[in-house]
Structure 1
Amino acid sequence: MDPPSVQRRPSPSGVVRVPGATLGYRIEGSGLPTLVLGSSVYYPRTFAADLRAKLRMAFVDQRHFAQNADAAAGDPLETYLTDIEALRAAIGFERMALIGHSHHGNLALEYAKRYPQRVTHLVLIGATPVGVADTLAAGVAYWAAHASADRRAALQRNWARLTPAALGRMSAAAGFVAGYVADGPKYWYDPAYDASGLWQDVPIATQALPGFRALFVDYVMRWNPGELRAPVLVVAGRHDYVVPPTLWDAARPTLPPHTYHLFERSGHTPQLEESACFDRLLGTWLRTGSG
Structure 2
Amino acid sequence: MKKIALFVCITIMLCQACKQKQEKQLENKQFNFVTSDHVSLPVKVSGKGDICMFVPGGPGGGYLSFEQLGGNKLEGFLTMIYMDQRGSGSAQNARDYSMDRLLKDMDDVRAKLGVDKMYLMSHSFGGVIMVNYAKKYPQHVKGLILVNSALYFFSPDALAEQISYGYKLLGKDTVIKAKNPDSLFAGDMAVRAKLSKVHLGYKLLTDSIKTIGVFDKLDSLHPRTNDFAYKILAPVLDKTKKMIYPEYFKDYNTITPDINVPVLVITGINDHAVGPNTYKLAKFPHQKVVKIDGGHLLYYENNSAFVDAVKNFIKDQSVN
CA contact (8 A) 2:31 2:43 kept: yes
Higher helix share: 2
2:94 is matched with 70
One of 216, 224, 230 as aligned partner of 1:204: 224
**1:211, CA displacement in angstroms?**
4.0
1:75-86 equivalences in 2 (<5 Å): 76-86=98-108
The aligned amino acid for 2:132 is E
Q: 5+ residue gaps in structure 1? A: 150-154, 163-181
1:230 aligns with 2:258: no
**1:222, CA displacement in angstroms?**
2.9
2:174 is matched with none
**1:160, CA displacement in angstroms?**
4.8
One of 50, 53, 66 as aligned partner of 1:32: 50
1:234-249 equivalences in 2 (<5 Å): 234-249=265-280
2:30 is matched with 13
Bigger Rg, structure 1 or 2: 2
**1:51, CA displacement in angstroms?**
2.0
One of 41, 52, 58 as aligned partner of 1:23: 41
**1:16, CA displacement in angstroms?**
0.8
Cα deviation code 1:163-201 (max 9, x no counterpart): xxxxxxxxxxxxxxxxxxx84221114244222134244
1:108-127 equivalences in 2 (<5 Å): 108-127=130-149
- Cα distance between partner residues in 1 of 2:108 and 2:221: 24
Aligned residues: 258
1:137 is matched with 160
1:55 is matched with 78
**1:224, CA displacement in angstroms?**
5.6
Q: 5+ residue gaps in structure 2? A: 1-14, 57-61, 172-191, 234-244
Give the 3 Å change call, closer, same or farther, for CA 58–188 of structure 1 in structure 2: same
1:167 is matched with none
2:313 is matched with 285
- Cα distance between partner residues in 2 of 1:49 and 1:208: 25
1:267 is matched with 295
**1:156, CA displacement in angstroms?**
9.1
1:102 aligns with 2:124: yes
**1:231, CA displacement in angstroms?**
0.6
The aligned amino acid for 1:210 is Y
- Cα distance between partner residues in 2 of 1:55 and 1:47: 13
1:177 is matched with none
**1:11, CA displacement in angstroms?**
6.2
CA contact (8 A) 1:140 1:241 kept: no
Give the 3 Å change call, closer, same or farther, for CA 21–137 of structure 1 in structure 2: farther
**1:138, CA displacement in angstroms?**
2.8
CA contact (8 A) 1:189 1:273 kept: no
Superposition RMSD in Å: 3.1
CA contact (8 A) 2:128 2:252 kept: no
1:220 is matched with 252
Identity of aligned residues (%): 18
- Cα distance between partner residues in 2 of 1:133 and 1:280: 29
Give the 3 Å change call, closer, same or farther, for CA 101–79 of structure 1 in structure 2: same
- Cα distance between partner residues in 2 of 1:285 and 1:11: 23
